[in-house]
């Protein structure tokens, strides 16, 4: 029996998918994985339902894979994840090709503590989900209703999982959750992310630890010091702020305001001068005026984030924001998204040129034989969403993906960097 897994949406979903695959391989002894959906006897689609585009992608993927019941070997189509949790009955009614619908709440509690994961193809980098759920209840977000309240995975479980991943070849661990900065509050009565970072760093063979999804108001002095002083924790922080207008931040039910964001960013850069800061923003939130948007543009210009993503507001049912007055036309949302991205592009290109002459340690993620160069990532680059460093392989191209090396940056090409081996 052959099993095919499709994981949509965020990296947290990816961790769940790897654990679900492990369960399926145990449930069907002798089965194997396949990357070809036409060969699969069982296909599992771990869906996303965070915003409209994600829902559309999930539905299209279900329909496309359902066709393999006629053209391939498919005998069972399983739909899991957030879309399944949110629209279970609709899926059963409207998509008869689906054999089983598994909502998040049916499996996620077990996955939180079940450590075994199927080995991924790029095992030199692995995501470690340290918590599940969220208690922030931002007005645009459906996640708390789908995934429940915030609950940390016990530290000993995480350490065991991390050791197993490193033993299988992982060099870089990327810590993820709906919010990483609150890790441990529910279990240990305090924010315990610094302790977790220090204990993970003791694992022999682990090179890098990267932290995503840090709420700015929860970033403590202790966490900053740990990032600064622990050599395995890369100087990279993902801080999704969503906006800079106090009015919009209040209506989003965010816990910070513009002045606090400025202070927190200034502190991070003062304490960790080479830190790479990434953020995400939302344009066209209900009630966003031209004045609010100007505040956001000025903030982006002045803060000069190293990495930045922008999403047009998605009006999601069963969220408070969906019922707010002042819904912004889709055309304006997209125009504002484009304007921010063009603004950020100029900043990012300047930031890239500023790296020329700098020596960086990079992780190899591939080799391009046509140009005889390594495709690499520096500490400033999260997989799949950030830039690359291209390094001339010279006469040496025997290194493998996951190997580390040092290079000197000699040029920049848009977002990406060009390096030479040292």
Q: CA angle, corner 224, sides to 282 and 182, nearest 5?
A: 60
Rg (CA), the chain: 22
DSSP 36: -
Q: Show pLDDT as tens, one digit a residue, over the chain (422 residues).
A: 899 999 888 888 888 888 888 878 888 888 888 989 999 999 999 998 877 888 899 999 999 999 999 898 899 999 988 898 888 889 999 999 999 898 776 666 654 555 566 765 568 999 999 999 999 999 999 989 888 899 999 999 999 999 999 999 999 999 999 999 999 999 999 999 999 999 999 999 999 999 999 999 999 999 999 999 999 999 999 999 999 999 999 999 999 999 999 999 999 999 999 999 999 999 999 999 999 999 999 999 999 999 999 999 999 999 999 999 999 999 999 999 999 999 999 999 999 999 999 999 999 999 998 999 999 999 999 998 999 999 999 887 777 889 999 999 999 999 999 999 99
Residue found under tokens 């977790």: 196
The pLDDT, as a whole number, for residue 153 is 93
Contacts of 26 (CB under 8 A, 6+ apart): none
Distances in whole angstroms, Cα of residue 210 to Cα of each of 140, 317, 362, 380, 381: 27, 33, 14, 10, 10
The pLDDT, as a whole number, for residue 125 is 94
The pLDDT, as a whole number, for residue 120 is 55
Burial of 77 (0-12, 13-18, 19+ CB in 10 A): buried
Residues making up the chain, counted from first to last: 422
Burial of 288 (0-12, 13-18, 19+ CB in 10 A): buried
* Contact between 251 and 242 (Cβ < 8 Å): no
The pLDDT, as a whole number, for residue 107 is 62
The pLDDT, as a whole number, for residue 195 is 98
Provide the 10 A C-beta neighbour count for residue 31: 15
| Domains of the chain listed by start with CATH number | 2-107 (3.40.50.12160), 109-354 (3.80.30.20), 359-421 (2.40.50.140)
d(CA 138, CA 144): 9
For 174, the token pair is 């990327």
The pLDDT, as a whole number, for residue 163 is 95
């Amino acid at each position: 029996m052959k099993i095919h897994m499709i994981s949509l949406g965020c990296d947290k979903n990816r961790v769940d998918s790897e654990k679900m695959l492990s369960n399926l391989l145990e449930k069907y002894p002798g089965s194997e994985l396949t990357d070809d959906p036409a060969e699969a006897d069982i296909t599992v689609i771990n869906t996303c339902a965070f915003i409209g585009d994600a829902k559309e992608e999930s539905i299209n993927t279900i329909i496309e894979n359902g066709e393999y019941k006629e053209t391939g070997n498919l005998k069972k189509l399983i739909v899991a994840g957030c879309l399944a949790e949110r629209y279970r009955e609709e899926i059963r009614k409207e998509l008869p090709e689906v054999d089983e619908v598994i909502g998040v709440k049916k499996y996620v509690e077990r996955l939180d503590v079940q450590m075994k994961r199927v080995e991924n193809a790029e095992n030199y980098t692995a995501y470690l989900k340290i918590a599940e759920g969220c208690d922030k209840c931002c007005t645009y977000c459906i996640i708390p209703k789908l995934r429940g309240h915030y609950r940390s995975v016990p530290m000993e479980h995480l350490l065991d999982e991390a050791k197993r991943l490193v033993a299988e070849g992982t060099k870089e661990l990327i810590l993820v959750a709906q919010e990483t900065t609150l890790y441990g509050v529910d279990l240990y009565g305090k924010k315990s992310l610094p302790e977790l970072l220090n204990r993970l760093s003791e694992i022999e063979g682990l090179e890098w630890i990267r932290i995503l999804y840090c709420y700015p108001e929860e970033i403590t002095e202790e966490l900053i010091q740990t990032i600064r002083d622990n050599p395995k924790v890369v100087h990279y922080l993902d801080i999704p702020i969503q906006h800079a207008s106090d009015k919009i931040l209040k209506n989003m039910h965010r816990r910070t305001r513009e002045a606090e964001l400025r202070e927190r960013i200034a502190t991070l850069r003062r304490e960790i001068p080479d830190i790479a800061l990434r953020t995400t923003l939302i344009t066209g939130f209900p009630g966003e005026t031209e004045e609010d948007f100007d505040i956001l543009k000025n903030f982006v210009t002045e803060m000069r984030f190293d990495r930045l993503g922008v999403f047009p507001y998605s009006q999601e049912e069963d969220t408070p924001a969906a019922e707010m007055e002042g819904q912004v036309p889709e055309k304006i949302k997209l125009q504002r998204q484009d304007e921010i991205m063009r603004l950020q592009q100029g900043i990012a290109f300047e930031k890239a040129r500023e790296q020329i002459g700098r020596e960086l340690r990079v992780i190899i993620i591939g080799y391009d034989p046509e140009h005889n160069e390594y495709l690499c990532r520096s500490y400033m680059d999260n997989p799949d969403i950030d830039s690359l460093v291209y390094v001339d392989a010279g006469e040496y191209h025997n290194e493998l993906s996951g190997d580390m090396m040092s290079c000197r940056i000699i040029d920049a090409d848009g977002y990406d960097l060009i390096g030479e081996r040292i």
